[in-house]
Amino acid sequence: MIFCPFCGRDVRRPCCPIALPRPANDNDPGLEPLFVAPDDRLRCAAAFQALAAKTKALSLSRHKTLRRFVDTVVDFEGIVLWPGGMPFDRSEKTVLATFGDDPDCKWVGAFMQFAETEPKQRPQWRVVPRLRLIDLAFRIDERRRSNGFLPSAPSGSR
> From the CB of residue 105, how many other CB atoms can be counted at a distance below 10 Å?
17
Q: Is 4 helix (H, G, I), strand (E, B) or coil?
A: coil
Residue 139 binned pLDDT confidence (cut-offs 50, 70, 90)? very high
Q: Model confidence over 32-47: pLDDT tens digits? A: 889 999 999 999 999 9
Q: How far apart (Å, rounded) are the C-alpha atoms in residues 107 and 73?
A: 19
Residue 10 binned pLDDT confidence (cut-offs 50, 70, 90)? low
Q: Model confidence over 78-134: pLDDT tens digits? A: 899 998 889 999 999 999 899 887 888 899 999 999 999 988 999 999 999 999 999
DSSP letters, 50-81, are HHHHHHHHT---HHHHHHHHHHHHHH--S-EE
Indicate if the pLDDT at residue 22 is higher than 80.
no
> Looking at beta carbons, which pairs linking 19-23 to residues 24 or more positions away fall under 8 Å?
20/85
Torsion angles phi and psi, residue 83, rounded to 5:
-55, -30
Mean pLDDT of the chain: 81
Give the per-residue pLDDT at 28. 57
Q: How would you class 37 by CB atoms within 10 Å of its CB: exposed for 0-12, middle for 13-18, buried for 19 or more? A: buried
Give the per-residue pLDDT at 70. 93
Give the per-residue pLDDT at 137. 96
Give the per-residue pLDDT at 5. 54
Give the per-residue pLDDT at 11. 55
CB of 157 within 8 A of CB of 63?
no
Indicate if the pLDDT at residue 136 is higher than 50.
yes
DSSP letters, 98-128, are HT-S-TT-HHHHHHHGGGTS--SSPPPGGGH
Give the per-residue pLDDT at 69. 94
Model pTM greater than 0.85?
A: no
